[in-house]
Amino acid sequence: MEKKIEAYRQGDVVLMKINELPKGLKEKDNVLALGEATGHSHKLIDGKTFIGENNQQYVLLEQETELIHDEHAQQTIPKGVYQVNIKREVNLLNEVRQVMD
């Protein structure tokens, strides 16, 4: 039987549910991504956000909360532990960069 992946997407931000937080994380603010052109942010209303190796972000939600952004529909994120993934793109020079909305 296939394992179901639980994920929530808002624009270029994807929260993927994981079993537990990795060790050695540092707590940070709840802004998951900033827009390059507009300055709008993807931000969690509640919960704790952490950063680890290679600037990988993780979220601990002890209760359901909202992921907000000025240009995207608000997302309700259930209680749980999540890894934050930001979509990436490759330009014509083969440089990898974060997608900015």
Instruction: Render 86-100 in DSSP notation, one character per residue.
Output: E-EEE-TT--EEE--
pTM over 0.95: no
Q: Which residues contact 2 (CB under 8 A, 6 or more apart)?
A: none
**How far apart (Å, rounded) are the C-alpha atoms in residues 60 and 20?**
9
Domain boundaries, the chain: 7-98
What's residue 37's pLDDT?
65
Closest of 29, 28, 39, 31 to residue 70, by C-alpha: 39
Structure confidence at residue 20 (pLDDT): 96
**What local confidence, expressed as pLDDT, does residue 8 receive?**
94
pLDDT at position 95: 58
Per-residue pLDDT of the chain (101 residues), as tens digits, is 667 889 999 988 999 999 999 999 999 999 999 876 667 899 999 999 999 999 999 999 999 999 999 888 899 999 999 999 987 655 666 555 555 55
